[in-house]
Amino acid sequence: MSKPSKHYALLTLLTLLTVVGQARDVKDTIFSTAGDRVIVNYTISQSGQQMTVKFNGVQKKLSKSHQEKYRKLDEIAVVMFDRTGNYHDMKFEGMATEAFMVPSNLSYSRSEDGYFLLQDAPSLSFSITQGNKAQLAVPLYLAHYEKKHRYRVIARCGTLQLSASARAGRAPGSAGSVGQDGVREETITSTEELAGEAISPAEEASIRISSIRSMLDKATRLPLSEELTHEAEMLRELRFKVTDGAVKGQIGEVLEAYENKKQELQAQADASQAGAQAAKDSEARAEQARQDSIAAQQALQAAKDKKDLIWLVLGVVGLIGAYKIASQVYQNWSIKKMQRKMMDSVNKMASPATKNPLDELTKVTKGSANPLGRTVARGQQEAEKKVKTAAQREAEAAKKKLMEKLGRKASPGGGNKNISI
């Protein structure tokens, strides 16, 4: 018998209850997708329409890769779930998990926690509501205890198949005996441990076909799960061992569906990636357009600011020029005005005083009649003469100075002089 591959998912044989009121102790061997070996001990009992599964313990033998990674075996738990989602105070990370599905003819009350650790010896109770047979598939997982209230799922084990029937029977590939307490003890070997004659290639192919179809229906994205890939590879190998034409046809259909599923998911991934890239490119173009618009606005503003600065400089230069011109004009006007005033003053000072004959006659008359008056009059005349002489000298000096300043010379002559400009 060949050694099973590490990634082989075991589908165990169906177990059947014997008679109403009897119980059966079962030991089942299951392999995980990573090659871990798990031995599950449980008891199936049925009383009328009531079915109970009591787990009595579990043994584990890890694969070489898991032995190197996880040194403590007691930190590895075998877990099953009756629902998915919130597990109250516990969190499961890593692989996605699935809960066991309860068929329509079974009644089951889900647990409060949503998960079961097989080493805690949990018990499941079901009621058969229709018919006298019931089947239940229970996925098992290996999980590593990371820290408080946290597990990491590291591998998926084969699905534990349970079956109940109101009629007595024996499970294929099982052997056992009924004890005095009415409990039948039997051992169910795994598919890999069967000698080969228990399950034919066609039967094994049928089991794998059903499993692959179920997993294909649940696959929503790439990459496909390791378990699905492994099942497809094993089914390809079985295709050469199966002699039944109908089963071969089913194998071909399932493998074609497997390839089509991969192509479909790849097309979806490519479309999603193309859409994401298109959205990214569109966003980049919009951002570039926005940056270009901002740059254009900044360029226009810079040109406007430059133009405003040029006009401001020209305005300042014009004002300075106008100020200088106005200042020069005002200065020239002030100089000319001052010159006119000075010339008027000089002309007035240089002109002889106009004498009044009546005043002279009065002065002579008063002087001849009064000696004191004559003396006063003579003193006034001398003073007036001196003042006149001094005024003429000052006027002559001012005229000369003015003529020198203006670059002109006074004409020669004696006596009273009139200055003309």
Residue 80, token pair as written in the block: 């099953």
For the chain, the residue count is 421
- Are residues 219 and 228 in contact, defined by beta-carbon separation less than 8 angstroms? yes
Task: Quote the pLDDT of residue 193.
Answer: 41
Contacts of 210 (CB under 8 A, 6+ apart): none
Give yes or no for residue 410 having a pLDDT over 70.
Answer: no
Q: How many CA atoms lie within 13 A of 277 on its CB side?
A: 6
Which of 64-68, 309-313, 398-402 is the most confident on average? 309-313
> How would you list the strands of the sheet with 133-147, edge to edge?
91-94, 150-165, 133-147, 76-81, 115-117
Q: What is the pLDDT of residues 333-360, one digit of tens each?
A: 988 888 888 888 777 776 655 455 556 5
* Res 139 pLDDT > 60: yes
Q: Which residue has the higher pLDDT, 48 or 173?
A: 48
Contacts with 175 (C-beta within 8 Å, 6 or more apart), sequence order: 186, 187
Residue pLDDT, tens place only, 255-265:
999 999 999 99
| pLDDT score, position 221 | 87
Q: What percent of the chain has pLDDT over 70?
A: 75
Q: Is the peptide bond before 4 cis (omega within 30 degrees of 0)?
A: no
143-147, 161-165, 272-276: which has the highest mean pLDDT? 143-147
Token digits for 391?
A: 């005024």
Nearest to 83 by CA among 73, 92, 94, 72: 92
Give the pLDDT band (50/70/90) at residue 369. Answer: low
Query: Using an 8 Å Cβ cutoff, are 33 and 5 in contact?
Result: no
Distance CA 420, CA 58 (A): 145
Q: The tokens of 211 are what? A: 């499993």
pLDDT exceeds cutoff 50 at 54 = yes
Cα separation of 243 and 408, whole Å? 147
| Contacts with 47 (C-beta within 8 Å, 6 or more apart), sequence order | 20, 21
- Mean pLDDT for the stretch of residues 223-234: 80
Question: Measured between alpha carbons, how far is 164 from 47 in angstroms, rounded to an integer?
Answer: 11
User: Is residue 237 over pLDDT 70?
Assistant: yes
Taking all residues of the chain, what is their mean pLDDT, rounded to a whole number?
Answer: 77
Whole-number Å distance between alpha carbons of 23 and 183: 5
- Cα separation of 185 and 174, whole Å? 10
For tokens 């997993």, name the residue. Answer: 215
Identify the CA nearest to 155 among candidates 35, 27, 64, 12.
35
Residue 24 banded pLDDT, cuts 50, 70, 90: confident
CA distances from 153 to 67, 78, 205, 321 (A): 15, 10, 28, 91
